[in-house]
């Protein structure tokens, strides 16, 4: 069953030009489904029917999976089973009757500019780890890139002189400028800290962990959590919080929607539109609190 999943991933990569993040999500969702089906005695995709898939959704609900996770899994299953039908592995699409749960759309968590300043000033300036962490946080907030993109950046992806980075996600590339502050912290890290962290090892990765190896998403998440606690920011902060904050602050300060969309790498501008809506909500709240005629 795993072989069919791998062929599907290769297919969408070649024909749909999907991003690495999309492919990782599809593969993870489908492997979870495969594991569940095997536990039910089903070992071939051609024998899977709508009842089996509905049973899997009920299992996810019982296990308290978030509605967003179940909905994403349904999307993965639909894409996969449509592929199986095209390959004549299945006679009909077993996902036709699947109904994903309704998801209550929530505004993403956004830090204030003051909170961002406080957070970014937490790393120590006189240690290799502190200089690395400061550069990573500054670059994340300066560009709005995803943490998966940040930890996979290579030296050749960054143009310090011109102040931009080349962000590669699968077959897609986007050029993103970054601030003078980010350039200074990145330059300091490269000049004074990176070699210490590498400890004689060689790698083209821009950032590594303290052992000179590639950093994981979980590793950076723990680093961020620690600095949020040091800054006494009590809200639940993730690396994506800085991405959301970047986009919201850019739009609040006059950036046009299309430019922000391109920097974030959103394929659909409606995804970027939520930051405009957030800005409108903020203005309305300020008006309600401040206008003398309630």
pLDDT at 132: 96
Structural domains of the chain ordered from first start: 2-86 (1.10.150.130), 113-288 (1.10.443.10)
Name residues whose C-beta falls within 8 Å of residue 42's C-beta, 6 or more positions apart in sequence.
48, 52
pLDDT at 291: 40
Instruction: Say how far apart CA 137 and CA 179 lie, in whole Å.
Output: 12
Mean pLDDT by 10 residues, the chain (294 residues): 90 83 89 92 89 90 88 90 88 82 72 91 93 95 90 93 85 85 94 91 92 89 92 86 87 80 77 66 48 46
Phi/psi-derived region of residue 163, left when phi > 0, alpha when psi is between -120 and 50, beta in every other case: left
pLDDT at 105: 63
């Amino acid at each position: 069953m795993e072989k069919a999943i791998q062929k599907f991933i290769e297919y969408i990569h070649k024909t749909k030009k999907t991003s690495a993040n999309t492919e990782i999500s599809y593969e993870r969702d489908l492997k979870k489904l495969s594991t569940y089906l095997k536990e039910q005695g089903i070992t071939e995709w051609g024998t899977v029917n709508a009842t089996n898939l509905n049973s899997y959704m009920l299992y996810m609900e019982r296990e308290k999976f978030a509605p967003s996770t179940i909905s994403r899994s349904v999307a993965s299953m639909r894409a996969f089973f449509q592929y199986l039908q095209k390959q004549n592995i299945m006679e009909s699409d077993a996902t036709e009757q699947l109904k994903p749960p309704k998801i209550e759309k929530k505004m993403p968590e956004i830090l204030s500019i003051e909170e961002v300043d406080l957070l970014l000033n937490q790393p120590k300036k006189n240690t290799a780890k502190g200089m690395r962490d400061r550069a990573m946080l500054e670059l994340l907030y300066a560009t709005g890139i995803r943490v998966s993109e940040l930890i996979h950046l290579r030296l050749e992806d960054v143009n310090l002189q011109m102040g931009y980075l080349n962000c590669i996600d699968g077959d897609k590339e986007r050029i993103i400028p970054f601030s003078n502050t980010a350039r200074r912290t990145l330059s300091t890290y490269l000049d004074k800290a990176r070699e210490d962290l590498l400890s004689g090892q060689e790698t083209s990765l821009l950032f590594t962990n303290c052992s000179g190896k590639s950093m994981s998403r979980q590793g950076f998440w723990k680093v961020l959590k620690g600095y949020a606690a040091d800054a006494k920011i009590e809200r639940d902060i993730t690396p994506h919080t800085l991405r959301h904050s970047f986009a919201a602050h850019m739009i609040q300060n006059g950036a046009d929607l299309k430019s922000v969309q391109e920097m974030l790498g959103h394929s659909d501008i409606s995804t970027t539109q939520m930051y405009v809506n957030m800005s409108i909500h903020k203005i309305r709240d300020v008006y309600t609190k401040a206008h003398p005629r309630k």
